[in-house]
Amino acid sequence: MNSSMLFDISAGAYIAAMIIYVIYLVVKNRTVGVVATSMTIFGFVSQSAAFIIRWVNSYSFWLASNPTSGFVESLLRAAPLRNLYESLVFFVWSLILIHLLIEFKYKIRSLGAFVTPVAALALLFIDISGTTKEIQPLMPALQSNWLLFHVLLAFLGYAAFGVSFGAAAAYIIMITESKKEKTYIFWSVITGIFLVVLIGMGIDFLSLSAVERKELIQSHFLKATFRSESGGVVVISWLASFVFVSAIWRYGHRLKKVLSSMSITANMLDEITYKSIAVGFPLFTLGGLLMGAIWANSAWGKYWSWDPKETWSLITWFVYALYIHARYVGGWRGKRVAVLAVVGFIAVIFTYLGVNLVLSGLHSYGSQ
């Protein structure tokens, strides 16, 4: 068993778990729920093994080009948190870890149906963005002890935010009453578009050769559907998406019914949203912002240079500080704070991927 095989197994398990969690939401059968959880645990165990094996491999890789490096130093430098691929993988791992902890603590299984899609999306993104999976040598700026702690804590924070996003999304779905409500339209259309893009990327992926897959995001994005050469395919894609999004809007309230008939309450989701932000916020502040600044100071002589990556972390931080104050002191409750939690996670995604793919920056992984 090598690391990438184990990793593929875990990815498969997570995606299966996602499907089973959704089935569980609908059929409410306890056995189905237990299967979903076991599948998640199975995926988690194999991913942990994959992580350790990769660390070991990466350790020998580092030693090969730095034979004089000591044991602890090599171990730190070899931590598999060194590029986009590895950090996405770690994000998925932390997300599942936190999800499992919450599932056992609060005894709510249905949250899985909202957290596993976030993991599945990250996994899918790994494959279709064409980011390299090879163990790569470390560029000079990354050869710092701060890097490991910076990335480790920041990603645990991101994962906690990911859970809060899942809970807040479920909350919003649960409390919207009528199809005409803005929040209802907000979540049903966003979910619809999200799924359409996901399906579109899936079709791309299936129709591309291995070489083309590597650059899907750069040049083949939605080539098999919306951007197809054949006009017929384009029209069908638009029609299908329209029908799909309308269907979600039309039947989305069933999801709400399903949620309300489970043993979860809106209060519980609100509580989980707040709790995970209360865990994510200190982790992200310490790891993402403070250690990032210390690392930048030791590498470039400036702890803060307002480059896009730093600024977007700060924006993310502002949004979550906003959430905390609005809810804890400002007396905001319900929809308004839940929307803030969703916005916060969109800021996280942008900090993490948008800045690399869309904007360029001083320490963007993407530019490399």
Partner 1 sequence: MEEKKKKDIFEEAWRFLSSVKLAIFTLIILALSSIIGTIVEQQAEPAKNITLLAKFFGDSAAPAVYNVFAKLGFMDMYHSWWFLSLLLLFSINLIVCTLDRFPTTLRLVRTPLGPLAENVLRTLPVKKELKFKTSLNIVKDEIANIMNLSKYRVLEANKDDAIQLYSQKGKYARFGVYIVHLSIILILLGAIIGVRFGFGGFLNLPEGQESDVAYTSGGKEIPLGFSVKCNWYDTKYYEGMDMPQDFKSELVVMDGGREVLKKVIEVNSPLTYKGITFYQSSYGMVPNATGYFVLNITPSGGNSNIIWLKAGESFDIPGTGTRGTIVNFSPALTQDKRTGALMTYAENMVNPAVAIRFDGPGQQQFTGWILKRYPDTGILSGGHKVELVDYWGVEYTGLQVSKDPGVWLIYIACIIMAIGLYIAFFMSHKKLWINIAHESPGSKGPVRITVGGSTSRNRLAFEKEIEHLLSKASHAIEGRSRK
What gap in Å lies between CA 140 and CA 216, rounded to an integer?
29
Q: Binders of partner 1 among 131-190, rule CB under 8 A? A: 136-137, 139-141, 143-144
**The entry of partner 1, ligand HEM, none that residue 104 binds, CB within 5 to 8 Å by partner kind:** none
- Using alpha carbons only, how large is the chain's radius of gyration in Å? 21
User: In the bound complex, what is the minimum distance in angstroms from residue 330's beta carbon to ligand HEM?
Assistant: 9
Q: Binders of ligand HEM among 81-140, rule CB under 6 A? A: none
Per CB under 8 A, the list member of 29, 38, 235, 282 interacting with partner 1 is 282
Of 88-96, 109-117, 138-146, 322-330, the window that binds ligand HEM (rule: CB under 6 A) is 322-330
Q: Is residue 321 a contact point for ligand HEM (CB under 6 A)?
A: yes
- Helices within the chain (DSSP H only): 3-27, 30-65, 71-78, 84-106, 112-128, 145-175, 182-207, 210-213, 231-261, 266-283, 292-300, 308-328, 335-349, 355-357
User: In the bound complex, what is the minimum distance in angstroms from residue 319's beta carbon to ligand HEM?
Assistant: 10
Amino acid, res. 262: M
**The entry of ligand HEM, partner 1, none that residue 251 binds, CB within 5 to 8 Å by partner kind:** none
Per CB under 8 A, the list member of 37, 158, 308, 356 interacting with partner 1 is 308
Pick the closer one to ligand HEM by CB: 107 or 325.
325
Phi, psi of 29 (to 5 degrees): -95, 130
Buried b or exposed e, range 192-205, using 16+ CB within 10 angstroms: beeebbeebbebbb
Per CB under 8 A, the list member of 355, 356, 363, 365 interacting with partner 1 is 355
**The entry of ligand HEM, partner 1, none that residue 169 binds, CB within 5 to 8 Å by partner kind:** none
- Residue keyed to tokens 């919306």: 226
How far lies 100's CA from each of 211, 245, 366, in Å?
Answer: 36, 31, 31
Q: Is residue 325 a contact point for ligand HEM (CB under 6 A)?
A: yes
Amino acid, res. 296: A
Q: Is residue 302 a contact point for partner 1 (CB under 8 A)?
A: yes
Per CB under 8 A, the list member of 23, 322, 346, 357 interacting with partner 1 is 322
Q: Is residue 303 a contact point for partner 1 (CB under 8 A)?
A: yes
Q: Is residue 107 a contact point for partner 1 (CB under 8 A)?
A: no
Q: Quick one: 257 exposed, middle or buried, by C-beta within 10 A (0-12, 13-18, 19+)? A: exposed
Q: Is residue 328 a contact point for ligand HEM (CB under 6 A)?
A: yes
User: In the bound complex, what is the minimum distance in angstroms from residue 293's beta carbon to partner 1?
Assistant: 7
Of 28-36, 39-47, 79-87, 321-329, the window that binds partner 1 (rule: CB under 8 A) is 321-329
- DSSP track, 167-232: HHHHHHHHH--STTSHHHHHHHHHHHHHHHHHHHHHHHHHHS-HHHHTTIIIIITTTTTTT-SSHH
User: In the bound complex, what is the minimum distance in angstroms from residue 105's beta carbon to ligand HEM?
Assistant: 19
Residues of this chain that bind ligand HEM (CB under 6 A) = 321, 324-325, 328-329
